[in-house]
Amino acid sequence: MLPRPLPADPMVQQLIRQAQQAKMGRRTLLAGAGGGAAALALAACSSGGAKSKPTAAADKSATSKLVRWDNWALYIDVDDAGNYPTLQAFEAETGIKVEYTEAVDDNNTYYGKVKDQLALGKDIGADTVCLTDWMVGRMIRFGYTQELDHANIPNLKNLFPSLKDVGFDPGRKMSVPWQGGFAGICWNKEKLPGGLTSVQDLWAPELKGRVGVLSEMRDTVGLIMLDQGVDISGDWGDDEYNAAIDELSKQVSDGQVRNIKGNAYKEDLINEDTLAAIVWSGDIVQLNAENGDKWGFSVPEKGGTLWNDNFLVPIGATHKKNVETLINYYYDPAVAAEVAAYVNYITPVVGAKEAAMAIDPELANNQLIFPDEATLKKAKVFRNLSGAEEQKYDAAFQSILLGS
């Protein structure tokens, strides 16, 4: 078997190399690799300091009617001809052309491709990209995003109040939610008619070599921590994280886990390389619609993760006002409901549920799109990490991907 490539983040690479060269265990790595993790984390934080932050590009929106949008797969409405109906309507309404690309497989791989350009303030080829809360927080800290002009987004009044002021972006100056969702567990209903209710069910002997988990650390490790009784939104530290890492490492080294992937995990479910997996909620609804009702999904009994992906404007983007016009369009409740009807993720737009009733009452009552308080109580948001924590926890997780 060929060795896996090192993760894109050079500081994570250095931590892993330190551990490999010193033949350290993950406990040593989490302890800081002799202080290296803390030093590297401080370097990472300082790289986003005021003196090193790049300058925002000039906005060409007035003369160039274009938006280049990078997003995840299966994350916007698509018709049978492969067109995007809401984007077509936006283009007709505004005269702004949208180049839409499914360029994001997971947060780390996308960031790894563009971080050097971001650091130099260069155009990454996208005017907006939708990334998850924690990655948006990192990019804001490093000065890699442009400030949004809320005057150009009057429909932002429809943003759910609970999402208007978040720790990684107070006042939503730099980011706006696109969609949210749960990480939970799924299973092939033909092969596993009894279903699954917990992360522990993934470790059943009959599933050896047929389990997939996500390459998003906060979702995979977060679900394992929840299964071990840890409130991932609360007060926990190295000991709790290390226990989950040890569990994941065991399942990978024993051959229980077949694949650790981003959005590409869907193909493994379709071809039945995996029969059960840690997954994102909306993907399973869409896979069932496209391939027959083959998979079940649940938020585990001990809890799932809850997250949002967010619009941001990269520092080198040249069409910021056009992006703001796009965001405003998608914050119309009727448009938000149309997208939700296809993607089956949690819309952040107040009024979208009422608009969805006109499309499909069953849709409006879907707990994966419009969750009630009881459903939301089953999910937790992975707490914010300090720079030092992010470096050492990512390194420990990536070391499993490398098979060390």
Question: Is 171 exposed, middle or buried, given 0-12, 13-18 or 19+ CB atoms closer than 10 A?
Answer: exposed
Q: Return the pLDDT at 33.
A: 43
Query: What does the pLDDT look like over 232-243, one tens digit per residue?
Result: 999 999 999 999
Q: Percent of the chain beyond pLDDT 90?
A: 71
From residue 45, alpha-carbon distances to 35, 41, 142, 336 in Å are 16, 6, 7, 36
- SS3 at position 168: coil
CB atoms near residue 84 (< 10 Å): 17
More confident residue, 162 or 150: 150
Average pLDDT, the chain: 88
Those residues with Cβ within 8 angstroms of residue 384's Cβ, 6 or more apart along the chain or in another chain? 134, 137, 167, 168
Residue 237 pLDDT: 96
3-class state of residue 1 by DSSP: coil
The string of pLDDT tens digits covering residues 157-207 is 999 998 998 889 999 999 999 999 999 999 999 999 999 999 999 999 999
Q: What is the pLDDT of residue 335?
A: 98
* CA pair distance 279, 4, nearest whole angstrom: 22
Whether the predicted pLDDT of 375 surpasses 90? no
Categorise residue 145: left if φ over 0, alpha if ψ from -120 to 50, beta otherwise.
beta
Residues sharing a CB contact under 8 Å with residue 153, sequence separation 6 or more, in sequence order: 176, 324, 327, 328, 331
The token pair at 55 is: 């300058």
For the segment 110-128, the average pLDDT, to the nearest whole number, is: 97
DSSP 164: S
Q: Residue 255 pairs with which residues in a beta bridge?
A: none
pLDDT recorded at residue 377: 85
Query: Which pLDDT does position 69 carry in this prediction?
Result: 98
Going by pLDDT thresholds of 50, 70 and 90, the confidence category of residue 305 is very high
> In terms of pLDDT, which residue wins out, 300 or 376?
300
Residue 22, pLDDT above cutoff 70 = no
Region of 293 please: left (phi>0), alpha (psi -120 to 50) or beta: beta
Using alpha carbons, select from 32, 147, 129 the residue that is nearest to residue 326: 129
The per-residue pLDDT for 124 is 98
Question: How far is the C-alpha of 325 from the C-alpha of 383, rounded, in Å?
Answer: 32
φ, ψ dihedrals at 269, nearest 5°: -70, -45
Model confidence band, residue 51 (pLDDT cutoffs 50, 70, 90): low
Give the CA-trace dihedral at 25, 28, 30, 34, to 10 degrees.
-140
What pLDDT is attached to residue 201? 98
Whether 28 shows a pLDDT value over 60: the answer reads no
Q: What is the pLDDT of residue 384?
A: 86
User: pLDDT for 83-112, tens place per residue?
Assistant: 999 999 999 999 999 999 999 988 989 999
Question: How far apart, in Å, are the Cα atoms of 189 and each of 164, 205, 268, 366?
Answer: 39, 17, 15, 20
Say if residues 113 and 8 touch (Cβ distance below 8 Å). Answer: yes
Greater pLDDT, 403 or 167: 167
pLDDT score of 49 more than 50 = no
Axis-axis angle for helices 281-291, 333-343 (nearest 10): 70
* Structure confidence by residue, pLDDT tens digits, 318-360: 999 999 999 999 999 999 999 998 998 999 999 999 999 988 8
Phi, psi of 215 (to 5 degrees): -80, 0
257-261 and 175-188 strand pairing = unpaired
Of 155, 154, 172, which Cα lies nearest the Cα of 163? 172
Per-residue confidence (pLDDT) for residue 238, from 0 to 100:
97
